[in-house]
Amino acid sequence: MVVLFHGEMREMIQGGPQNTSTQDRFDCVVIGAGIAGASVAAELAVSMHVLLLERESQPGYHTTGRSAAVYTVAYGPPVIRALTRASGTFFREPESDFLSAPLLNRRGVVFPARKDQSAAMEALHDDLGDAVAKLDAAEVLMAAPLLRDGYAVGGLFDADASDIDVHALHQHYLRRFRSEGGLLRVDAEVTAIEHDGGWTVHTSTGSTTAPIVINASGAWADEIAALAGVRRRGLMPKRRTALIVAPPPGIEPQNWPMIVDVEEQFYLKPDAGKFLISPADADLSPPCDAQPDELQVAICIDRIERAFDLTIRRIESKWAGLRSFLPDGCPLAAYETDMPGFFWLAGQGGYGIQTAPALARAAAAIVQGRAMPPDIADQGVTEVSLGSIGRGVPA
């Protein structure tokens, strides 16, 4: 689990303690300072006066700080893959005063398939096309040394899959936001939202008015909509469990690829000399501070020990996070048509880090009524594919 922002968060907050009688005016209020809110706020702050509100004292406390930190174009529905491809340029060649090291570290992902998963492997291969190469059983074993001999009859390989430095990416956006004059308030839970022509957003620390509210509250997006009198969209937060375990003595897996079951029933990823493992669970959960489920921990160990020559004696750490999906599995970056100025940025599922650079730029363009940036449009992303059915930009 990446723990973000220790002492450094305080210096990023402008304005200091808020007087509850204060009512500020902004062009836009963004609710939620995870990767979605931080990135779109940074894009908008270039030309708007933006307030970013976060309930927690650390903006990465929820899903953003709990991810597996993978970038792969071989994952998710078509719009996610398009956003991931469109984000690739920024990940590989970021133009930023706030980054001192590369954001990506190439790792590769192997998708092994058992005999009973051959059809699933063929289907995935058909779906992913050139994004992956086919491996035979011997090649899978060479690429994934701890996999049990005879476990896989073949597999797929995404050579370009990479680790993302999530902490650096998130900080880049928060610092850029601040440098553009944006104001971040942490420990500021949104408790009420009124629509009175514009929007008045009430928090535990004060109230703010703005013509535009952006709902980037992750697993709480339907709750924020309900507060604003906007219809819920059926967001489904799904819990995913992750464990850190030690490799066998003498094994240094740091440069090994990640191994993802071809039907995503488990994964194993080298992480700072250890293994990050997951049963790839997706149990529905209310929005909350997600905790690991003991049954899923047991399932994880069972699946990993069946696939790998690895005996797990001790769990070094474990956590869970919520991956939030809309019913169609696609992210929503659109105004609510009946409620001018209420903008959704939700439903990033298990892909919100790897899509953030392009999704933030696309969302900012839609918020401001601009055309989709050409490099994102070239990948096939449109306003409609992100859920827009009307303009909705406030007059």
Ligand X SMILES: Cc1cc2nc3c(=O)[nH]c(=O)nc-3n(C[C@H](O)[C@H](O)[C@H](O)COP(=O)(O)OP(=O)(O)OC[C@H]3O[C@@H](n4cnc5c(N)ncnc54)[C@H](O)[C@@H]3O)c2cc1C
The residues binding ligand X (CB under 6 A) are: 31-37, 53-56, 59, 61-64, 66-70, 189-190, 216-220, 224, 240, 242, 321, 323, 348, 350-354
Instruction: Compute the distance between CA of residue 174 and CA of residue 34 in angstroms, rounded to an integer.
Output: 10
- Nearer to ligand X by Cβ, of 296 and 354: the residue is 354
Residue 178 CB, shortest distance to ligand X, in Å, is 17
Q: What are phi and psi of 251, to 5 degrees?
A: -95, 130
Tell the residue number behind the tokens 């086919």, with chain if given. Answer: 134
- Nearer to ligand X by Cβ, of 63 and 154: the residue is 63
- Nearer to ligand X by Cβ, of 114 and 318: the residue is 318
* Residue 350, SS3 per DSSP: coil
In the beta sheet, which residues pair with residue 51?
29, 183
Token pair of 121, please? Answer: 């492997």
Residue 372 CB, shortest distance to ligand X, in Å, is 21
Beta strand 50-53 pairing with 183-185 = parallel
Instruction: Compute the distance between CA of residue 22 and CA of residue 203 in angstroms, rounded to an integer.
Output: 11
Residue 153 CB, shortest distance to ligand X, in Å, is 26
In the beta sheet, which residues pair with residue 274?
271
Tell the residue number behind the tokens 């030309």, with chain if given. Answer: 47
Q: Give the other-Cβ count within 10 Å of 150's Cβ.
A: 10
Residue 147 CB, shortest distance to ligand X, in Å, is 21
- Nearer to ligand X by Cβ, of 141 and 366: the residue is 366
- Nearer to ligand X by Cβ, of 73 and 141: the residue is 73
- Nearer to ligand X by Cβ, of 64 and 208: the residue is 64
Residue 172 CB, shortest distance to ligand X, in Å, is 14
Residue 280 CB, shortest distance to ligand X, in Å, is 9
| In contact, 285 and 323? CB cutoff 8 Å | no
| In contact, 202 and 193? CB cutoff 8 Å | yes
Token pair of 249, please? Answer: 């003595």
